[in-house]
Chain A
């Protein structure tokens, strides 16, 4: 029996008064995944995220987040998620501590547990030394961190981020990537929307392509550095044997494709480069070159586009 997905989107249609934005979108996201929602501007990503955040009701279809129906229990969904819109605002006159205190209290935390949650959230985004600063005095990158801290202060199970890296400098982007990886490591299910693939590369484990208000390609697919479909390696053998596929299969390795003189192998998830190399040599194969292949988000995107 498989566990219920953390996010289940079923046949979602969304109409603005003058145009249809989503045309029967369906997909699921398992718990702990970091889903990159990609697609061009105007594809419907923000509308879909707002429906998933129970800020807008779909015209048709249903969305289950953390086991709650966004239409039937919108306030329950609000309590279970954190959502950072693409154009977010802050209470610029409040100190960082007060902004986080309000965020925690307004999201249902008790007065007793709030101070600790505030300290924790500030520490997670490295704002501990700026707790007494006014939000309006922070730089763009630090404001982004505060906004994320506000969305995670109540320890949500699902985090929805809409174009979170827009306008950030490379250093702030790196800090954001690290933060998302840390949160994912803690078991949070994260959906990040962007039209810039490079910014999603470092932390995405799954990818969903949205185009013209519909799911494009093959739905949710493995992608990015955290791809969990296994380790890909380009290997050149000196004098490759006739029964290469069988010998590889015997040590649990799949021959994916021939690429000139090289072959691309797929080792099981969690396989280590060095261990794989040792097993190939141990199987009597003469390895001339050995190069791990990184399946980038762009590879996944282009593969899906080509479907």
Chain B
């Protein structure tokens, strides 16, 4: 047996803990039976509902917490270095923690799923298998995200000289997902505004329009969630590789971004065409660039090494050090250019300025994030970057709008009505910000130069 899984079983699913969990579950199911004994359809439908709640609470909430804690408690208990020194393969360590850390949560949750399936079968509910797959995939997705968030938190904390925690990363993921749904909704890329996309995920009625055809919403949801869960597990595995001192070639991350672009773009392909699909894909990938910029450790030594090896043409040594936002920046650029070129078959379109403005502002924002995070106190960098971006878009945009309406506003955001102004302003700001960021990082300094570079 995988030693990591075995150890987690010893700690999490000891006979004593299993016995206690069994008692609690018996009380819950017993209470449900007692309360519904007068129900003309019997207690089974109620047991099915309670089972679903038990699965959500145990496998999704408790399980996700346990998976993240399988890393964070190692840090708190000072056993993480001992684990990093083990001979276990990253994959064994990943699944050992993922399913071992949440083993008791899975045991309890699966009793709930079993109740739900039994109740559904006896009641003749259709699509039960699809629903079960969806719920299992969602639980794995949440647990893998939690594990990945903890690993990101650990890497960031080590580089930034502070205590590791996953709450910031998890919070960022949630805000990012809501922002993505909101942006997509307001831009007309999905039906309705705000978080409707998430609502549709849980109700899953009717049909879903994806990839040029209509699909059963429930089946689509189950397949999509399974794919995302698989990607989340792969992501946790890649992060685990880094923790175990192994190097990652920049292959899986770009592959995921392309998957993400195809997935997001597929929703508008039939109704709005290929160009719109590319635009939606670029939007999602661009948002991933922001997420990647915040998720990477604020480590200017690493960036300096990347620049040094890349400048020397030593791609073998530069590739594993590639900053994570670079891939989404390049892919988003290609997709935006493709989106504007697709209708005419030529890149020389009137909308090219708008495409360029979008990329210029993305470039500027990544520079702002780098500038704020690579300072002398990197532990405060994330917050500083959020404030700086808020000021640039919020305060700067408002002032610009007050002074010159759309023309003024276009100085601080990529607006469609004044694309060339946005493009020029975005490029100028990006240039200034990146010069400052490069100075702060010491990008031209060889790796042998002292680490501390005077802050600009």
Contacts and interface: CB of A to CB of B under 8 A. Distances in A.
B447 A88 contact: no
Contacts of B378: 17-18
Contact of A107 (B74, B78, B86): B86
A295 interface: no
B11 A17 contact: no
Contacts of B448: 13, 59-60
B429 to A, nearest CB: 26
Nearest to B305: A59
B7 A87 contact: no
Contacts of A98: 7, 10
A19 B451 contact: yes
A15 B303 CA distance: 12
A78 B86 contact: yes
B221 interface: no
B82 A88 contact: yes
B159 A17 contact: yes
A78 B452 CA distance: 30
B451 A106 contact: no
B447 A60 contact: yes
Given A57-B245, A74-B244, A108-B87, A88 B301 contact: no
Contact of B79 (A15, A20, A90, A108): A90
A92 B161 CA distance: 26
B223 to A, nearest CB: 36
Contacts of A15: 301, 450-451
Given A20-B452, A59-B305, A94-B7, A75 B246 contact: yes
B160 interface: yes
B82 A89 contact: yes
Interface extent on B, as a size class? Answer: 35 or more
A87 to B, nearest CB: 5
B280 interface: no
A108 B85 CA distance: 11
Contacts of A154: 87
Given A57-B245, A85-B81, A150-B82, A20 B450 contact: yes
A93 B77 CA distance: 12
Contacts of B305: 59
Contact of A89 (B4, B77, B246, B300): B77
Given A55-B84, A89-B79, A107-B86, A17 B245 contact: no
Interface string A251-292: 000000000000000000000000000000000000000000
Interface in A102-117: 102-103, 105-108
B331 interface: no
Given A74-B245, A91-B79, A94-B11, A79 B87 contact: yes
B87 A20 contact: no
B376 A59 contact: no
B80 to A, nearest CB: 8
Interface of A: 13, 15-20, 53-55, 57, 59-60, 74-75, 78-79, 81, 83, 85, 87-94, 98, 102-103, 105-108, 150, 154
7 contacts: A60-B447, A78-B86, A78-B87, A83-B85, A87-B78, A93-B11, A106-B86
9 interchain residue pairs of minimum CB distance: A89-B78, A15-B451, A105-B3, A108-B87, A74-B245, A106-B86, A89-B79, A89-B77, A15-B301
Given A18-B451, A102-B3, 5 more contacts: A13-B447, A16-B451, A59-B305, A89-B74, A89-B82
Interface of B: 3-4, 6-7, 10-11, 74, 77-79, 81-88, 159-161, 244-246, 298-301, 305, 376, 378, 447-448, 450-452
